[in-house]
Structure 1
Amino acid sequence: MEFSHNDNNNLPLTKFESMLKTNHVLFFDSEEFENIIHHYLNQGKIALAKKAIKLGLDQHPTSINLRLFRVEVYVFEDKLIEADNLLNELYSLDPTNEEIYIQKANILSKKDEHQKAIDVLKRALELTDDIIDIYSLIGMEYLFLDEYEEAKTFFMKCLEEDLEDYSALYNIIYCFEFLNQNEDAISYLNVFLDKNPYCEVAWHQLGKQYIILKKYHKALAAFDFAIISDDTFVGAYLERGKVLEKLKRYEDAIENYTITLKLDEPTSFALLRIGSCYEKLGNNELAVQYYYKTVHEDPLLDKGWIAITKFYNKKKNYQKALYYINKAINIDSENVIYWKLFSQINQRLNFYEEAERGFKKTLELGNYELNTWLSRGDLLIKLGEPEAAIFNFEQACEFYPENAELEYRLAGLYFLLNQNQKGEFHLKNGLKFNEDYAFIIEELFPKVANKILVKNLLKQN
């Protein structure tokens, strides 16, 4: 029995909590203690569960179930040796108790001994009437071993026993997807739906499989059946909206996303998608309204800030784009995409120092794309900082060895600083790796391109 402070079955719980406050010991039968402990464990109130276990065992020292709760707490606290020792004692007292095997498997799983855990759980199967839970536990252990076929088999056994075990259904589909067996997943779901035709979860999963295979019209039909089965199923409307977007039916997509706003609390995802649909329809006023709503609803959603920044960027309203990307950076200064946009916008506004700072921050955050190194280095050249540009490009060479674009830039910079030997070395490298990029010298270093040494090297190639 599960206790709740809002029902009429919570008398033992109320009595127990009253006893803790008064220190006046009251008697409970062992089943009442079990229910009290179970309630506290479900609530995550471990300290209270431990008190109940202690008091329970004081009153019922021979209760195996109460001692099994102690094992459960030991496992939770990673006291695996104590848990194992107590389980061995309990096994000698009651070798047919399925819970002993379940807890033993739990300990083995915590030790990453998943195959041993499976072997123990298979023994528990012979002792239990509640086979669904054991099947599910075995399935999870196979997932830990990355044995998805075996895992799938046991989750299927769960679903055979209980058609409404949606957790098992999700795990089955997860296994199919990991194995790239989308067609098999579709076949399985269709057989399942023959037995359970009004299962909105199965229709929803079927639609998602069709999306993976780009069978959008079939996906739409599946989501329609999900909605027929449950017309308040928000997930089905969202997926339906996404498919309609792929089919460029933006007004229909907006209609589906809007339904979700009425059925539940507005989600930033739905608001963002509505904004995107309006933008594609050319309704900029409504598009930007929904982008504003998106960032208001969830200021931490980077896609919202990126959408509104890119919106103004496309309209060449760079000041507004910069305003919103600065707001985004103030909320999350570790977001690489924000800094890249910040740099690009500042570049368009000819704010080169700010743009360079943005690319530097992007690199510091671990974004080592070639274009980031090139953009930052070119800005340093433009800002008259050749030594810093050289250091930047040399760092880039560690990530992109034998890259002609980097070699030509290093050649130009060294020639610019009259370090002709190093310039010659890098220019020869550039020509060796890809002579088509030789125009970089003329484009970025026109004075260098006129040097006789450079002209001769380029002619020789």
Structure 2
Amino acid sequence: MQYSHEDENFPLTRFESMLKTNNILFFDSAEFENIIHHYLENGKIALSKRAIKLGLEQHPTSINLRLFQVEILVIENKFAEANELLDKLHSLEPTNEEIFIQKANVLSKQDEHQKAINTLLIAIDMSNSPEDDADLYALVGMEYLFLDQFDDAIIYFKKCLESDVTDYSALHNIIYCYDFLNKNSEAIEYLNEFLDTNPYCEVAWHQLGRQYFAIKEYAKASAAFDFAIISDDTFVGAYIEKGKVLEKLKKYEEAIENYKITLALDDPTSFALLRIGYCYSKLGQSDLAIQFFKKTIDEDALLDKGWIAITKFYLKRHDYQNALDYIKKAVAIDGDNVLYWKLYATVNKHLNFLEEAEQGYKRALELGNYELDTWLNRTDILIELGEYQAAIFNLLQTTEFYPESPEVEYRLAGLYFMVYQPEEGRFHLKNATCLNIDYSFIISELFPQLTDRPLIKAIISEAKKTSN
């Protein structure tokens, strides 16, 4: 079904006026189709149904209005009713391709994707319009995507693009499929072929640049983004990607220039502001770096990379109080962000706020961050706080994830000796030395008071002899 948006507002205004006054006005079927299409596009289902009902009262033989009825039934998941109505319409107009498109839509919604493809292929055979063909090929491509049959999807998205060279969503889908299949070279070959006949297609140049970037061909990526910009000098995405390439080439001043162009072309994006901050940081221009990191979090307080960047900026400069102020604000905004809590713990550790640091690591663990360093950092702080039993319990949980870690075993050995459980201490120390004697320094580092114990010295000494 084709719709015209020209002069759409007048019949729409008349229709809505009619609903308010209850005066019955006449509309031709094309006007009803435009009115219904408008309501469907805007998600106004109740008004769509009302327009269909009134439309069918005035045009009871209109197939197109009945097809809108099918659309409503599909939206309401009434697939059996939709199929029944489609069968009736098919008997009236067996060569109407729109009926097959709607049949395919019903099948797709019921996860019958192969049947949907077969039905769409019938519609393609019936079609006489290249423009309609492009839409149908795209629909077949999408069904193959649902089936994870990416090679088949590529074939149909290519057919779509051959029928309508301006269908950039098809181009994006082709590259998406190649990306999923890790076929960068095939994607590059296809894009170069496409650009031979469409040399001013900025979207294709942009995609080509991204492919070269993925395989670390930065000079070629940079050239592709230049051509994208030549094709459309307001293409924000191309400037962003060019900036990323220039960063990889360590050309930070040029990267900043490209990112700044995007700020002038469009509303500032937190990504561009953040990258500018990083570039200034790399150039050693701290004042400008912090200025742009602050702009990043002002622009988007939910972007965790912004808060992390500003906290790490201060951490690197040993300005722990400022780092703490920012990471506290970040945690207040999003208390379920693991990266925030690990950073919160690190900053507090530098400030020797051990209870707060321990809480940070504990919260990270509660949120599912089971990296070994999180368990070990929490343990070491608990040891420093003299919380030996809590440290043991923490390490026993760690062994569920890391059953043969010498770093865990040495710590458990030391802790058991500290709480006067020598048998357990001996067991874990022997375990630890068998796993890796090189980590035995952990005992002297974390438990200096145990270094001279004869039993401990004997076990470590024996293990060193054996390992030599």
> Map of 1:52-131 to 2, 5 A cutoff?
52-128=51-127, 129=129, 130-131=132-133
1:433, distance to aligned residue in structure 2 (A): 2.0
1:342, distance to aligned residue in structure 2 (A): 0.6
1:219, distance to aligned residue in structure 2 (A): 1.2
| Structure 1 residue 194 corresponds to structure 2 residue 204 | no
Per the alignment, residue 22 of structure 2 pairs with 23
> Map of 1:256-405 to 2, 5 A cutoff?
256-405=258-407
**Distance in 1 (alpha carbons) for counterparts of 2:9 and 2:70:** 25
**Distance in 2 (alpha carbons) for counterparts of 1:423 and 1:54:** 82
1:407, distance to aligned residue in structure 2 (A): 1.4
Q: 2:245 aligns with which of 243, 246, 255?
A: 243
Per the alignment, residue 429 of structure 1 pairs with 431
Query: CA separation of 1:53/1:158 partners in 2, compared to 1, >3 Å: closer, same or farther?
Result: same
Q: 2:142 aligns with which of 140, 164, 184?
A: 140
1:2, distance to aligned residue in structure 2 (A): 5.3
Q: Tell me, yes or no, if the aligned pair for 1:200 and 1:229 is still in contact at 8 Å.
A: yes
- What amino acid does structure 2 have at the position aligned with 1:58? E
**Distance in 2 (alpha carbons) for counterparts of 1:2 and 1:127:** 20
1:201, distance to aligned residue in structure 2 (A): 0.7
Q: What CA deviation, in whole Å up to 9, does each residue of 1:229-277 have, x standing for no partner?
A: 1111111111111111111111111111111111111111111111111
Does 84-93 or 233-242 show the bigger shift?
A: 84-93
Does 93-102 or 357-366 show the bigger shift?
A: 93-102
1:226, distance to aligned residue in structure 2 (A): 0.9
Q: Tell me, yes or no, if the aligned pair for 2:437 and 2:460 is still in contact at 8 Å.
A: no
Q: 1:451 aligns with which of 450, 453, 468?
A: 453
**Distance in 2 (alpha carbons) for counterparts of 1:443 and 1:408:** 11
**Distance in 2 (alpha carbons) for counterparts of 1:99 and 1:215:** 46
Q: What CA deviation, in whole Å up to 9, does each residue of 1:275-318 have, x standing for no partner?
A: 11111111111111111111111111111111111111111000
**Distance in 2 (alpha carbons) for counterparts of 1:180 and 1:288:** 38
- What amino acid does structure 1 have at the position aligned with 2:261? I
1:139, distance to aligned residue in structure 2 (A): 0.3
- What amino acid does structure 1 have at the position aligned with 2:356? E
1:8, distance to aligned residue in structure 2 (A): 4.2
1:120, distance to aligned residue in structure 2 (A): 1.1
1:447, distance to aligned residue in structure 2 (A): 2.7
Helix, strand or coil at the partner of 2:126 = coil
Does 179-188 or 442-451 show the bigger shift?
A: 442-451
**Distance in 2 (alpha carbons) for counterparts of 1:380 and 1:355:** 10
Helix, strand or coil at the partner of 2:200 = coil
Helix, strand or coil at the partner of 2:404 = coil
**Distance in 1 (alpha carbons) for counterparts of 2:432 and 2:281:** 44
1:3, distance to aligned residue in structure 2 (A): 7.0
TM-score by length of 2: 0.95
- What amino acid does structure 1 have at the position aligned with 2:70? V
Q: What CA deviation, in whole Å up to 9, does each residue of 1:138-159 have, x standing for no partner?
A: 0011111111111001000011
| Structure 1 residue 182 corresponds to structure 2 residue 184 | yes
**Distance in 1 (alpha carbons) for counterparts of 2:104 and 2:4:** 28
Helix, strand or coil at the partner of 1:126 = helix
Q: Tell me, yes or no, if the aligned pair for 1:34 and 1:66 is still in contact at 8 Å.
A: yes
Q: What CA deviation, in whole Å up to 9, does each residue of 1:173-220 have, x standing for no partner?
A: 111111222122112111111111111111111111111121111111
Q: Following TM superposition, where does structure 1 have runs of at least 4 consecutive aligned residues deviating by more than 3 angstroms?
A: 1-4
Per the alignment, residue 47 of structure 1 pairs with 46
Does 171-180 or 357-366 show the bigger shift?
A: 171-180
Does 163-172 or 403-412 show the bigger shift?
A: 403-412
Q: Tell me, yes or no, if the aligned pair for 1:412 and 1:445 is still in contact at 8 Å.
A: yes
**Distance in 2 (alpha carbons) for counterparts of 1:395 and 1:82:** 56
Per the alignment, residue 442 of structure 1 pairs with 444
**Distance in 1 (alpha carbons) for counterparts of 2:395 and 2:335:** 25
**Distance in 2 (alpha carbons) for counterparts of 1:425 and 1:97:** 80
Per the alignment, residue 466 of structure 2 pairs with none
Per the alignment, residue 171 of structure 1 pairs with 173
Per the alignment, residue 219 of structure 1 pairs with 221
- What amino acid does structure 2 have at the position aligned with 1:71? V
- What amino acid does structure 1 have at the position aligned with 2:378? R
**Distance in 1 (alpha carbons) for counterparts of 2:392 and 2:402:** 15
- What amino acid does structure 1 have at the position aligned with 2:34? N
Query: Alignment identity in percent?
Result: 66
**Distance in 1 (alpha carbons) for counterparts of 2:229 and 2:106:** 43
**Distance in 1 (alpha carbons) for counterparts of 2:36 and 2:8:** 15
Q: Tell me, yes or no, if the aligned pair for 1:412 and 1:423 is still in contact at 8 Å.
A: yes
**Distance in 2 (alpha carbons) for counterparts of 1:165 and 1:313:** 48
Does 433-442 or 191-200 show the bigger shift?
A: 433-442
- What amino acid does structure 2 have at the position aligned with 1:328? A
- What amino acid does structure 1 have at the position aligned with 2:296? T
1:404, distance to aligned residue in structure 2 (A): 1.4
- What amino acid does structure 1 have at the position aligned with 2:264? K
Helix, strand or coil at the partner of 1:50 = helix
Q: Tell me, yes or no, if the aligned pair for 1:3 and 1:36 is still in contact at 8 Å.
A: no
Helix, strand or coil at the partner of 1:248 = coil
**Distance in 2 (alpha carbons) for counterparts of 1:409 and 1:383:** 15
Helix, strand or coil at the partner of 1:401 = coil
**Distance in 1 (alpha carbons) for counterparts of 2:197 and 2:388:** 72
**Distance in 2 (alpha carbons) for counterparts of 1:332 and 1:117:** 43
Helix, strand or coil at the partner of 1:350 = coil
- What amino acid does structure 2 have at the position aligned with 1:95? P
- In structure 2, stretches of 5+ residues that fail to align are 464-468
TM-score by length of 1: 0.96
1:109, distance to aligned residue in structure 2 (A): 1.5
